[in-house]
Amino acid sequence: MKKLINAPDAVVREALEGMELAYGDRIRVSYDPACVVRADAPVAGKVGIVSGGGSGHEPMHGGFVGPGMLDAACPGEVFTSPTPDQMMAATKAVDGGAGVLHIVKNYTGDVMNFEMAADLGREEGIEVEAVVTNDDVAVQDSLYTAGRRGVGITVIAEKICGAAAEERRPLADVAEICRRVNGQGRSMGMALTPCTTPSSGEPSFQLGDDEMEIGIGIHGEPGRYREPLAPAAQVVERLASAVVEDLPYQSGDQVLAFVNGMGGTPLIELFIVYRDLHHFLAERGITISRRLIGNYITSLEMAGASITLLRLDDELTRLWDAPVNTPALRWGA
């Protein structure tokens, strides 16, 4: 195992320290319990938005804390859910009097611990709503979930809901927008290689040099198929067909297309994936009117990619275009 670390048990803390040193103008970090909080939180009269999950998926979620997106993120240990006390501390830190929205990926530990934190928050008089994302069409159940996994649509929901909260929309409205984004979005991913967690020093799964896994999860969970390597266009057709047919998306739809790298895939390959996705959708009368391409939900150094589509309407497009200023996502600000 070759990694640029000092000690396996210090990876998360030292990464958080580095984030705070680099982006102290936008975030502040607490360590006991660990959470990343918007520098000017709480913002009076604004719905606070909190998300979180295991580390190892950077920049999700701490890289998305800042104006126009998340107010706080709770980082667990690598591939491990954060604890209820982290989520409760984050909830209290961002409560500006208008309530707090928890955006929760559908992984069993995340859901359970966020539910406990929401109950604790309500006991202290904080209005809390939670929305669970479950956009992955690859498998119905996995090692980590009951039901579909929450993946790419989570980042899109955090951005769009963050914009709605900046407009001082009430909590019920922001939560409903989050449910609409989740309902109109679908994702599927694939892997070319496994990843190695710092604590184990071993690959998370075995994959032959001439094999790829279609429908992989962000923790290396098995997908739909393990099969021989294929050209990018064929891979895109497999992923995009499953996504488009699931909603289903139809001719005339305007979509946001999110091509995400899993951490070890260079941009030159992601742009090839985007090219093939553009042609695939155009042949079906589906227009990409917004796009996001890059490594935003990673699985350490795993090579691979995922495709997420969101069916857009005028409101969702406007909220996506609104300014955002976070360590990992920034425009119009």
- Residues taking part in catalysis: 57, 219
Q: Which two tokens stand for residue 333?
A: 């600000």
Cβ–Cβ under 8 Å, residues 326 and 26: yes
- Paired sense of beta strands 27-31 and 100-105, if any: unpaired
Cβ–Cβ under 8 Å, residues 74 and 117: no
Closest by CA position to 107, among listed 164, 58, 57, 160: 57
**Dist CA 259 CA 305 (whole Å):** 7
Helix and strand numbers (H, E) in the chain are 8, 14
**Dist CA 16 CA 237 (whole Å):** 38
Query: 164 CB contacts (<8 Å, ≥6 apart)?
Result: 47, 173, 174, 177, 319
Question: Residue 101 in 3-state DSSP?
Answer: strand
Return the DSSP state at 330.
E
Q: What are the E-state strand segments in the chain?
A: 27-31, 34-38, 48-55, 72-78, 100-105, 128-133, 185-191, 211-214, 225-228, 254-261, 287-294, 304-311, 324-325, 330-331
Element (DSSP H or E) covering residue 154: helix 153-166
Q: 187 φ, ψ to 5°?
A: -140, 160
